[in-house]
Amino acid sequence: MKTDIQVQEDVINELKGRPFLKNLNISVSVKNGIVTLYGQVENYSQKLAAERAVKSVAGVKAIAEDIHIGMPLSYGKNDTEIAELVLNVLKRHSGVPDENIKVKVENGIVTLEGEVEWEYQRKSAKEAVSRLVFVRDVIDLVTVKPKATAVDVELKINAALHRPTAVDAEKYLWK
């Protein structure tokens, strides 16, 4: 079993070893296997990347975060500008039905609401928005509501199973 000092060293090395994270101002403390991250990052993607990096380290039992997201004020955008960026990203993303997603921005925190047909669409929308530099956080309230019902799927499966096959098995036997 690793000591807290060993876990801390491993976490620091993991953060420094990832190109996306190596120049960030993140401090690490460990107590009883609980890793606490302190500092500031520029965007939500960096915060998520730091979390993933820490989760990959053996000996980490839990993660506590005190990571703040923010850019220097000279680089900032107001909520209206961020909303425009978010809408443009969603519109350009081929895997996201942007007409089904409503966006709210407050203090750089983006809330996504609406319904999509597939889980990958919900995830794609959140990931695309979280990569924007000026987004401080993403609250994902998008729900998945498939068009196909269980009855539809059952009927299609039964129909496929009862379809006559036109395959002549003799053609495929080895002689």
pLDDT at 103 over 90: yes
Task: Kindly state whether residues 85 and 140 are assigned to the same domain.
Answer: yes
Report whether 53 contacts 26 (CB < 8 A).
Answer: no
Q: How far apart are CA 5 and CA 7, in angstroms?
A: 5
Domain count, the chain: 2
CATH code where residue 127 lies: 3.30.1340.30
pLDDT at site 74: 42
Considering the domain architecture, whether residues 36 and 86 belong to the same structural domain is answered as no
Domain holding 113, by residue range, is 75-144
d(CA 101, CA 115): 7
pLDDT in the model for residue 172: 59
Give the pair of three-digit tokens for residue 96: 């996201």
Q: Render pLDDT for 7-52 as a digit per residue (tens, 0 to 9).
A: 999 999 998 888 888 778 889 999 999 999 988 888 888 888 899 9
